[in-house]
Amino acid sequence: MNDITKLLRKNVQKLVPYQSARRIGGHGDVWLNANESPLSTIFETEKKMFNRYPECQPKNLIKSYARYVNLSPDQILSTRGADEGIELLIKAFCEPGIDKIIYCPPTYDMYQINAKIAGVKIEEIPTIKNTWKIDVSSIKLKLNQVKLIYICNPNNPTGNIISQDTLINLLKITSGKCLVVIDEAYIEFSPNNSMINFLKEYSNLVILRTLSKAFALAGIRCGFTLSTKEVINALHKVISPYPIPSPVSDIAAQALTVDSIKLMKNRVSILNLNRFWLVKKLKNMPCVKKVFNSHANYVLVQFFMFDKIFKTLWNNGIILRNQNHKINLRECLRISIGSRQECMRVIEELKKFV
């Protein structure tokens, strides 16, 4: 067959894939486009032989994470990053062509991309411009056939926090109707805003977590889905047989020891200080139109001459993330928080734009 694409499902033929930082590419020595940690910890896998399949849900890993979040092990599913949790929820709860998800852009695109791949309908309800608050009133009016509502908190790429009062209100409105999925990929940078303590109170609450950000383990792709035992049991039905490779579970469990968690919290403190420093400097830059408040390891910035700034920094080896194409993010770039030296490089380059 000359045109193999004709064999693709119709929805996949039309699909625009997620443009990850590595797909977009770039060349340089200051990578501030993927919200990775610039500070790393060295681990060595204790496993030396890999001829046997791993456990589907490695007991040591699940127990370690349960201890970290103070939950029962049967409330936890380990996944390939938080991304797999997004996909599994759609697989388990949404009937293709019938059910819907709600997502609230500007936010993480993989919520709607996974829905499109699965043939699940999407109800797009944008957040309120500039405040980025969830439009609960509009959500309430559009719950028909909705099974999942995805909320990123802190939100990527805006960096804002959705208040616990707002999320509790949403959980009450949707009780018995659909699941509210709170993506807490960046919550270690603002831990007091976690919804984890509400899991025992709201059976429709699901929380996504990852070791990619604050734990500085983006390279091993390890995440977790937290919910009721019933939701976790449902996800067990659709997860692949051996999702967590042995080296991944080994390193992840090491990262969840008491000493490693202390190192993680110290790393978070350093990056939060770097964010405060960078934001202060950015607000005094003549090329900066607006700096949005952030509670994560990145900051959203609106620039004058944003396109020239993005391309110039890119060509000089400073790789940022262009957000101009997203709803209500015109002229915006997202800057991951790097080391202090990397943040200083950004400021030095921006000083050239007057």
- For residues 190-207, average pLDDT: 97
- Find out whether the peptide bond into 245 is cis, omega within 30 degrees of 0: no
Q: Are residues 252 and 291 in the same domain?
A: no
CATH number (domain holding residue 243): 3.40.640.10
Give the residue numbers spanning the domain of 302. Answer: 4-39+260-350
Residue 266: what pLDDT?
A: 97
Residues 175 and 68 in one domain: yes
Token look-up 């960046």 returns 186
Answer yes or no: do 273 and 315 share one domain.
yes
Which band of pLDDT confidence, cut at 50, 70 and 90, is reported for residue 2?
A: low
Predicted TM-score (pTM) above 0.85: yes
Residue 302 lies in a domain: yes
Residue 46 has pLDDT above 90, yes or no: no
Residue 211's CB is within 10 A of a number of other CB atoms, namely: 27
- The answer as to whether 68 is a domain residue is yes
Q: What percent of the chain has pLDDT over 70?
A: 99
Q: Which of 240, 257, 274 is where one domain is finished?
A: 257
Are residues 29 and 82 both part of a single domain? no
Same domain, 336 and 235: no
If asked whether residues 346 and 229 sit together in one domain, one would say: no
Contact 252, 67 (CB under 8 A): no
Q: List the CATH number of the domain containing 308.
A: 3.90.1150.10
d(C-alpha 193, C-alpha 291), whole Å? 21
User: Which residue in 142, 187, 221 sits closest to 295, CA to CA?
Assistant: 187
Q: Is a pLDDT exceeding 60 seen at residue 1?
A: no
Residue 133: strand pairing partners: 128
Q: What is the mean pLDDT of residues 64-90?
A: 98
pLDDT of residue 71: 98
Report the length, in residues, of the chain: 354
Alpha carbon separation from 21 to 103, 150, 272, 321 (Å, rounded)? 22, 22, 22, 8
Residue 47 is assigned to a structural domain of this protein: no
What's the domain count of the chain? 2
Percentage of the chain surpassing pLDDT 90?
A: 88
| 251 & 266 share domain | no
Q: How far apart are CA 111 and CA 115, in angstroms?
A: 7
- Residue 76's CB is within 10 A of a number of other CB atoms, namely 24
Task: For residue 50, tell me if it sits in a domain.
Answer: no
Residues 253 and 267 placed together within one structural domain of the fold? no
Residue-wise pLDDT tens digits, 85-125: 999 999 999 999 999 999 999 999 999 999 999 999 999 99
pLDDT value at residue 18: 79
- In-domain check, residue 46: no
Could you tell me if 152 and 192 lie in one domain? yes
Residue range 274-292: mean pLDDT, rounded: 97
Strands 76-79 and 179-183: unpaired
Phi, psi of 306, deg, nearest 5:
-60, -40
Are residues 209 and 87 part of one domain? yes
Report yes or no: 196 and 67 within 8 Å, Cβ to Cβ: no
Tell me whether residue 52 is in a domain.
no
- Within a domain: 44: no
Residues 217-242, mean pLDDT to the nearest whole number: 97
Identify whether residues 132 and 199 lie together within a single domain. yes
| 123 within a domain of the structure (yes/no) | yes
Among 257, 277, 310, the domain-final residue is 257
Question: What one-letter code names the amino acid at 245?
Answer: P
Q: Which of 206, 227, 257 finishes a domain?
A: 257
CA distance linking residue 343 with residue 336, whole number of Å: 9
pLDDT of residue 25: 74
Average pLDDT for 284-305: 97
The answer, yes or no, to whether residue 163 has pLDDT greater than 60, is yes
Residue 281 sits in the same domain as residue 160? no
pLDDT value at position 16?
87
- Is the pLDDT assigned to residue 70 strictly greater than 80? yes
